[in-house]
Structures are given as C-alpha cells and as structure tokens.
Chain A
C-alpha cells in the first residue's frame, strides 16, 4: 500500500463572518467543521485548529449559540465570537479576524458551509507544493462552473466560500481589499493578487463543501438585493483595479442605461468614487492574471 504523504502545516484558524444567520445552521456547520478538524488532526495535517466567528449582525444574539459550540471533547481547540457592532462586510470582517490571532494557515469560510469529513485534509494536501497560495474546496450541490486544469487544479480565482490560505500569503498581501470591496469579488481580487505575487491558486475537487444554495421554481437562479447590488458595484471596481478601465466604463454605461434601480444605484456609487478619487490603485497593467470574459472572472466550462 502506498503511504499517503500529507504535509504538516502547523496551526489552523477557520474564519467565518455572520450576519443574522439561523442558529441551527451555525450549529450544523460547526459540527461538520469539527469532524473535518478531527480527521485533519488525526492525519497530522494540522496540530491545532481554532474557529473564530466575526458577527456583523445588528445585535449579538448569536454569541451564546457560537460559544456553546466549544467543548473539551471538541477537536476545535477554541471557538471564538467577535461582535463587530457594525456591518463591516465580508472583506473587512475577515481582515478584523485576521488581526486577532495568528496561525500558519487560515480557512476563510461562509457560515453556511458544511465541510465533508475529508475536506481539510484534501485542501491541505496541495500545500506540499509551497508555491500554492490558495486552495479552494468544491462547492456542492451547485459546483462553480469556472475552468480548472484537471491535472493540476490551477484556476483563475478561488471563492472564499471555503478556501485554505497560508498566513504568510495573507500577510504579504495585507489581507483583503476591504476599502474597495464590501461583499463580492473581494476573493477574486485576493486570488489575482496571490497570482501576481507568484503563487498558484488551486481548485480541489476532492474537498467537497456543501454550500446551501438553492434554485428557484423552474430552476431559475434567484439572487437577493445585496448580491445583485454589491456584485454589480464590484464588477466595475474590479475591472478598474485590474487596469480595464475601458470595461469598467462599459459596464457603468450599461448599468446607467438599464433602467434597473439596483444597477443604477451601483453605477452612481462607482461614479461617486471616481469623482471623489476613491478608486483603487490599478494593478496587472499587462493583464497577466485578470480574466474578464462573458461577465465572469474565469473561463467557464458552461453557462449556468
């Protein structure tokens, strides 16, 4: 039998941002994580795993739920709750959690992610190669359609719905760009900066993570206001940041003509930032890492 060679990666912290989540789903998510942590510790991939929640909710009602998940018998060495008392958004929330404590690795995870028992081990596996800067889990039941190299897993960007990142990389990049991105595309931006820094972004299809996304009646995608607004705003900002001002302007013009209230609001915000000089510093002038194609940030295997 061939020995399963796994890297030994030290300490791991799992970070997740709450906003009015259902307590029973948090409990369920922690139970999944705890099992994945147990197996990762057993396999020696990590030697200590902690969980930290940052809460952007209007009140700290979830404190008790979160803290009740800690226990002596748990494989999670600590379960922390940090109440931010303001809605910071995901990028800023994660940056605040990153400031709290250190560990060699961090998993950035959505609070509604349920990890498969082997997920942490499979995410860690790719860090045998020290050039890997992000390892992303496969989301189920709706798998993301972005292309990845079947042999190596290399891909355009990694979603922070469930992604393992070395602390060293995070420090080098000074975390997420929360001044530009509130809720969406902070992960696309981070991924591309990881690549610009010379690291690989790898998709791990053997590491499954259930993400509670649903289809509407008739199989339609239904998105809420926040997703529509912040992804629209981020689309322009991301294009601008990655030296595609032409594309940013094109999207802006499209939104302005759309008559759609949400898109108009996003377009106005972009215009405001532009006139106030609040747009981000531009990167990737040679267009080495950024991909803008068919309204997506990677080539897709298919259209959803």
Chain B
C-alpha cells in the first residue's frame, strides 16, 4: 500500500472536499482539475455525483498510473515549474472548456513556494471565477504543541508531520497565504481529530487524557483559538484580487516596540457624566501619559452618546487624540469590557468604570511593575471610600462621606482570591495578549463578579506582580447606585458558583511558594480542629520556612531556646561528668551567628537526640501540663 493512497470517506479530507465542491453546484461536463492528485481517490466520487470530468496532475508516477488504470485523465506536472504546468493544463483542456473547480489536497505544504502555485491556480480560475478547494495539515494541533513542551517534534513518514513537508500552517498563516495568493475564502469544513497521528507515546503526561498537565495544556490551547483539534484545514475559495506579496507569510515584526504601554477601557452607560469627567481628569493628570483610553459606551442612546462625545471634545488635544469612543449595543456587563479589550492596542489593558478615581502615580506604578515583571498581571493597591450623590442646582455632584478604608490587601494572594475577589478591577492590569492571543474574555454569561471570574482564570497562568503603593480609589456608593445593590444576593451567589464550577473543573496552576502556604493552612486548620498536637520540636520540622533567611532565623531561635532551656541547663553537670569519664575535652559553645543552615540543623539534632534531652522529657511534659 502506498503511503499517500488514502481511501475516500465522507468524514475525511476527501469527503469534506467533496462536500464543499457540491456547494458550488458544478455543471455536468465541466472539468475538475486536481493538482497534487496522488492516487486521486476523489475522481470516482466527483464524476459519479456531479458528472464532471476529473483530470489529475502530479509528479507521483504510481498515483498517475493508478488513475490512468481506473480510466481517468492524469498528467505529470511539476508545480515547481509554474509556466510549464500552466502550459500543460491549457494543452490538455479542450478549447473553451468550463472548469468546475480547482483542487489541491495536502500539496501546498510540500512546495518550497506555495504562493507561486496559488497564483498559477488564480490565472486558471480568475476569468471564470472558478472555486479552489484546498486542504493543508494543521501544525498547531494540540498534540504537536503539547509534545513540543517536552522537546519532541516527531517527523513521521506521512501525516501531520510528514518528513517531506516544506511548509507548516496554523490557521492564521494559512489564511494569510491564501489571501496573498489571490484567493478569497468562502466556505470551510475543517477535519478535526481529538487524537491525531502525533498522539504518541500516549503515556506522556502532556498527552495522557486524564493527566492534569495534558488537561491544562489542552484547555489553554482550546482557549486560544478554535483549531486545537483541527487536523486539516479544508476550505473553499473564489478568486480575489491579485496581490504583490513577494514571499510566503512570516512574522515580520516580533514585537511592536512602538506600542503604548497601557490601554484604559472605561465602561459607561452614559448616565454618570459628572463622574466620568472626574475619571478622565484623573487620567489626564497621570504622571505617565503612556496610555490610550477607550470609552466603551454601552447601550447609549443618541442623547447619552452626544454627552460622552462632548466630554471627549472638552479634553485638551494631547489627551483627546488618545481617547476613542466605541459603542456596544446589547449584552451584559461583560460586553463593553470585551469590546474595549479587543479594541485595545497597548501592551497592557486595564478596566475602569465611569466613576473610578485614581492617584497621579496609577499608570506610573503599573509601568514600573512591568519593568521587572514583564508579562505578569500588574496589581497596585486600592483604597475604598464611601461616596454619595447630592443634587446641586440642576445637576448631580458626588461627595465623599468617609475616610479611606484599606479593605483590599496590598499583595495579591491567589489562594485568598479563590475564596472571593480582593482586587478592584481598576487596580489590576492585564497583558493584552491574554485577550488578543489566548482568547480570554470576561464571561458574558455572568451578570456580576465578571471581574473576579477573569482574574482567577488568568492570574494562575501569568502570575501577579504586586505593588503596595496605593494608586486607586474605589468609590463605594451609599446612594444605591452600584452593582452590589443592582443585583440581589442570590444573583451574586449564583455567579460566584458558576465561576467556582468552571475553575474547579480544570487543573489549577499554583505559584511558587503556594505549597508552604497550603501546608501551613492545613496544619493550622488541623490544630484548630484539635486533630493533631505538635510539640515545638516537631513544629520546627513541620512548619519549615522555605525562604533561606527565614529558615536560618527560625533555626537560630530554636537553637538558642534549646541551649538556654531548663532541661539543657539542668543536665549540664551530667554531661560534664560524662565528658570527664570519657576523657573528652570541654566543648566550646558554637557561635550561633556564624553557623549556616547545615551547622544549626546538626547541633539541634545533636541536642534532641542526646541522652540528657531524652532524660528530661518527662519534666518537659509535666511543665506543659
């Protein structure tokens, strides 16, 4: 059996190509030209279903022989020599022959210059608007990505990583190539495979279906785009405009160095113009102006839209040119945030409500955090303050009615955030790639707590860099105008439950340091419940400090306690007698401040395992009682 001789099935690439072909309602007697035809297992299907005439082109002689033996036209054609191939096609088609479709299945990836082949097809098809049916393998299948994380890239004789492939396609690169080749996509019917031919060895923790690591990677992959399980892209095109692109697509700029640091997305329904003006003032007064502002107007009627536009128009030119209004109709609280985040161009994005206030160093603090922690979520500290609104003349004004309250911790703690949100949304900035590249969104299904939901989904992936600087002020409205009062307790609980269910269903990445915290929390809980009783000496082993400095200090304190303990002091004469009897020299007390971790552990263990310490155990237990 030849490696490229695959039989027809409605569920495989041939079947999907045949299905796409049928959509164009081909005319009987017209020609179906199959470039890179191989064994041409489509030939029988297209001729019998549509009455078209199949013609195959390839350099693979056994395939051509097979087609001819089955009574089909088949020609040797090298797509690397475009002019000769064009000449050949024209010579085999009768004068004025109608072409039903051009087809190229799993061929472009074998060519050094697939653009040239696409342009050849375009020259054949443009005049009659002939469709082109294409299939190429997906190099970004979940299996390939997962294996790359453990250093494997396994060429095979055929399949996703056929050893003769010269091009590798993701959906984006394939789309770019087809556009550059002068083709406009009209249909797609990709072939998906949960487990591709690259799913080996199946025991790898990045592949094994029930392995947490595989689950985490697959979840991430599926979040990024819809093609994680696509084995082959199968798509139909019509001739589009000619292009002058000189080379196959590649990433021309690794990083957009000119991009702004921050995009500030302000969500507004246009009802709080006076506080929106105050919010904009806080932004225009920032010490760092390296940001753009996207005002995401949600369900604005004409009057409110004009009011927001007038507010933007009020701004000084240097700020106004960095402010954009986008309008969003429909959807819940997440809709304007998602639209704003997708419109953002900064390296980071932060959400801002139209009543939020920030201090002058809000952007600057985020930016400083980015310098040492690129790619992490950036979190500064927020203070809370009670406010209300009063009527004054014909307008409404806001008024603070309490002192600053530090309700939110000054460091991000993931485990604490699993319990509830402790980070006001305008005090945390997200890397934009989470939205533009990894497909994360505020959950449109949540009517509240959409901020918490997003934070705890992305914080484990990117990590969070925290600053203790207070840069944001969260206004707690005591006049009923807030999300807490707009939604009842049941709704809040229901949304929290939805989020919990979501994160509970997937593996969770914990940051370094989490093990010690979890261990300490567990032990503390057990002690509170009275299920364990630990003495000081076992505690020093159980409650170990992992950080070097803290661990050293803990050991020093314990050693000091031991040598100055009543038990140790009391048994001193006994040890002295034993030394004399054994003719051992009088030992010098070690210098605690000069000892390293190993020395301290050695000396502590010496004391704990000494006969004099064992002898006084009863005394110590009596003292405890």
List chain A positions with a Cβ less than 8 A from chain B.
Answer: 2, 24-25, 28, 31-32, 34-35, 39, 114, 116-118, 138, 140-143, 145, 150-151, 153, 205-206, 208, 210, 212-219, 301-304
Residues of B within 8 A of A117 (CB): 277, 314-316
19 A-B pairs with CB atoms under 8 Å apart are A25-B287, A31-B318, A32-B285, A35-B315, A114-B281, A117-B314, A117-B315, A150-B392, A205-B390, A210-B360, A212-B360, A213-B359, A214-B470, A215-B383, A215-B404, A217-B410, A217-B468, A218-B410, A302-B400
Q: Kindly provide the distance from the CB of B394 to the nearest chain A CB, expressed in whole angstroms.
A: 8
Residues of B within 8 A of A302 (CB): 400-403
For residue A138, which residue of chain B has the nearest CB? B397
Complex: A205 Cα to B395 Cα, angstroms: 11
Complex: A220 Cα to B394 Cα, angstroms: 37
Complex: A30 Cα to B248 Cα, angstroms: 52
Q: Kindly provide the distance from the CB of A72 to the nearest chain B CB, expressed in whole angstroms.
A: 15
For residue B358, which residue of chain A has the nearest CB? A141
Complex: A217 Cα to B404 Cα, angstroms: 12
Contact assessment for B403 and A140 in the assembled complex, using a CB-CB cutoff below 8 Å: no
Q: Kindly provide the distance from the CB of B430 to the nearest chain A CB, expressed in whole angstroms.
A: 23
Residues of A within 8 A of B381 (CB): 217
List chain B positions with a Cβ less than 8 A from chain A.
Answer: 274, 277-278, 281-282, 284-285, 287, 314-316, 318, 357-361, 381, 383, 390-392, 394-395, 397-406, 410, 468-470, 473
Q: Kindly provide the distance from the CB of B356 to the nearest chain A CB, expressed in whole angstroms.
A: 9
Contact assessment for B404 and A145 in the assembled complex, using a CB-CB cutoff below 8 Å: no
Q: Kindly provide the distance from the CB of A117 to the nearest chain B CB, expressed in whole angstroms.
A: 4
For residue A207, which residue of chain B has the nearest CB? B397
Of the listed residues A2, A140, A206, the one surrounded by the most CB atoms of chain B closer than 10 A to its CB is A140
Report the number of A-B residue pairs with Cβ-Cβ less than 8 Å.
Answer: 101
Complex: A210 Cα to B468 Cα, angstroms: 22
Complex: A233 Cα to B426 Cα, angstroms: 40
Contact assessment for A143 and B404 in the assembled complex, using a CB-CB cutoff below 8 Å: no
9 further interface pairs, Cβ-Cβ under 8 Å (given A138-B397, A212-B287, A214-B360): A32-B284, A143-B399, A205-B392, A206-B397, A208-B278, A208-B281, A218-B468, A302-B402, A303-B403
Residues of A within 8 A of B394 (CB): 2
Contact assessment for A116 and B281 in the assembled complex, using a CB-CB cutoff below 8 Å: yes
Complex: A217 Cα to B281 Cα, angstroms: 24
Residues of A within 8 A of B392 (CB): 150-151, 153, 205-206
Q: Kindly provide the distance from the CB of A120 to the nearest chain B CB, expressed in whole angstroms.
A: 12
Residues of B within 8 A of A32 (CB): 284-285, 316
Complex: A171 Cα to B278 Cα, angstroms: 34
Residues of B within 8 A of A24 (CB): 287
Contact assessment for B470 and A215 in the assembled complex, using a CB-CB cutoff below 8 Å: yes
Of the listed residues A24, A25, A212, the one surrounded by the most CB atoms of chain B closer than 10 A to its CB is A212
Contact assessment for B403 and A218 in the assembled complex, using a CB-CB cutoff below 8 Å: no
Residues of B within 8 A of A31 (CB): 316, 318
Residues of A within 8 A of B278 (CB): 116, 140, 208
For residue B469, which residue of chain A has the nearest CB? A217
Contact assessment for B318 and A217 in the assembled complex, using a CB-CB cutoff below 8 Å: no
Contact assessment for B285 and A114 in the assembled complex, using a CB-CB cutoff below 8 Å: yes
The 10 closest A-B pairs by CB, nearest first: A117-B314, A210-B285, A114-B285, A205-B397, A35-B316, A141-B357, A212-B360, A215-B470, A219-B406, A143-B400
Residues of A within 8 A of B391 (CB): 150
Q: Kindly provide the distance from the CB of B93 to the nearest chain A CB, expressed in whole angstroms.
A: 69
Q: A217-B410, A301-B400 are in contact. Are A140 and B360 (CB under 8 A)?
A: no
Residues of A within 8 A of B281 (CB): 114, 116, 140, 208, 210
Of the listed residues B361, B395, B404, the one surrounded by the most CB atoms of chain A closer than 10 A to its CB is B404
Complex: A138 Cα to B398 Cα, angstroms: 10
Q: Kindly provide the distance from the CB of B94 to the nearest chain A CB, expressed in whole angstroms.
A: 73
Q: A117-B314, A214-B470, A302-B403 are in contact. Are A206 and B360 (CB under 8 A)?
A: no
Complex: A174 Cα to B314 Cα, angstroms: 36
Q: A32-B284, A141-B282 are in contact. Are A150 and B390 (CB under 8 A)?
A: yes
Complex: A260 Cα to B285 Cα, angstroms: 36
Residues of A within 8 A of B469 (CB): 217
Q: Kindly provide the distance from the CB of A161 to the nearest chain B CB, expressed in whole angstroms.
A: 13
For residue A219, which residue of chain B has the nearest CB? B406
